Amino acid sequence: MTATASVALQPGLPVPLDVSFTNLGSRAVRVTHVAISIASVTTPNVTRNYGCPASGFVLTQIDPSFVVELPNLSTQTLSSTNTSTALWPTLELVALNTNQDGCKGATVDLTYTAQGNNP
């Protein structure tokens, strides 16, 4: 699984993540119970004056009712399955009362888990 933000992060604006699911197997798979977490945050513009704490990023999970069926040897994204963006996970750079210029150009690495079975 991977995810792509639809727009650049801005303080206080939750950004939907278009998650991509890939089935490299020889049989169809039904994917359920998707969970995403923040693994690390790389902040190339942090200085002594401009910080960017990893705790300033908040991830909202994909709707727990989400299920996707993947044919063998296929890839699908949330957008390609016509899943409402209201169900998509979001990533937000929390708006703080301090200068957040250190967060410009930040990369947020995510980890993914899910359950799957054959339909």
Count of domains observed in the chain: 1
pLDDT along the chain (119 residues), means of 10: 89 96 95 95 91 92 93 95 92 92 93 91
* Structural domain for 99, as ranges: 2-117
Tokens of 68: 């996707």
Quote the pLDDT of residue 61: 97
Q: Give the CATH number, domain containing residue 37.
A: 2.60.40
